[in-house]
Amino acid sequence: MVNGEQARRARALAAASDDALVVLDSERRLLAASAAAARRLPGLEPGSRVGEEALAAEPDVLVLFLASPPELSAYEELRAGFTAAVSHELRTPLARLLALLETAALPDAEVGELVAQAREEVRQAGELIDDVLFLGELETGREIVSLGETPVQPVVEEVVASLHERADHAQVALEVRLDGGVALPVRRRMLRVVLENLVANAIRYAGPGSTCRIEVTRSAEGVSLAVADDGKGVSAADLPRLFERFYRGDQARTSRGTGLGLAIVKHVVTAAGGEVEARSAPGRGLAVTARFPSRASKVPA
């Protein structure tokens, strides 16, 4: 964590430098930039995240980390924990698949029904592997999140259409409220990933008879993308941990989700310079809001 004195020194250092210099914290958020750096990297705002791709395009810009990145030992500990979590999560569908195959070998077994269940377990394991690999690509910087701008309305319409049947089956109504002229500083694929995960999460957990609303609003500060439902809600104990990888609250433990959807949402939004928060109370639904900075714009008419 960078304190006020460190931030002041960063600004003083950048102001005194004739070189193209940016000072970042350990999360790659901008603390200060020299005048030469500001000319080479227009649009830099204090507190915004400076991605590796932006700096790679300007190799003459010097980068100073005021707070050092995590030590290798801490990184190795994190990686080991992640590997253990993935292994644990993969064992569940594989164990169920093995049990189904053993049952199918028994006399008078309903083989057709068991095969259908086995296919679902294979699909579940494949979905988990895909999410793990995608999150790994995000975290290693191989997926560039904010590359150009994407009009929001067409992507929202695509996601709602693709999830309509699933929502009907879960008895969850989908509603959309948005300004058709809004664009976000996120690649189209990344925006679709965010929306799909947020809407699918509401469909999976809100409960029959509930409504999921997708709303996009614009203000002087930027653009907010909110997906909110009026369903079961989340307990106060679960709420702070919703964006953790593989975390599931008591209500979600019996579901077939991968436990990575909201972690992916958070990573995409923060990588694009935004922030995400969740609000909920038992019986009052869950609202997840992603806020993007003011460079989110209006699509030209």
Mean pLDDT over the full length of the chain: 77
Half-sphere exposure of 37 (CA within 13 A, CB side): 29
Q: pLDDT value at position 248?
A: 59
Cα dihedral angle (225, 230, 236, 239), rounded to 10 degrees? -30
Calculate mean pLDDT across residues 228-239: 88
Q: pLDDT value at position 75?
A: 46
Condensed to tens digits (0 to 9), the pLDDT of residues 144-155 reads 555 567 889 999
* Residue-range domains of the chain with CATH: 4-65 (no CATH), 72-139 (1.10.287.130), 150-298 (3.30.565.10)
Cα angle value 167/172/175 (rounded, 5°): 90
- Burial level of 36, CB count in 10 A (0-12/13-18/19+)? middle
Condensed to tens digits (0 to 9), the pLDDT of residues 27-61 reads 788 888 888 888 888 877 888 888 777 776 777 77
Question: What is the share, in percent, of the chain residues with pLDDT greater than 90?
Answer: 20
Q: pLDDT value at position 72?
A: 44
In this structure, of 64-68, 135-139, 181-185, 189-193, the range with the lowest mean pLDDT score is 135-139
**Top-confidence residue, 202 or 181:** 202
Condensed to tens digits (0 to 9), the pLDDT of residues 98-120 reads 888 888 888 888 888 888 888 87
What's the whole-model pTM score? 0.55
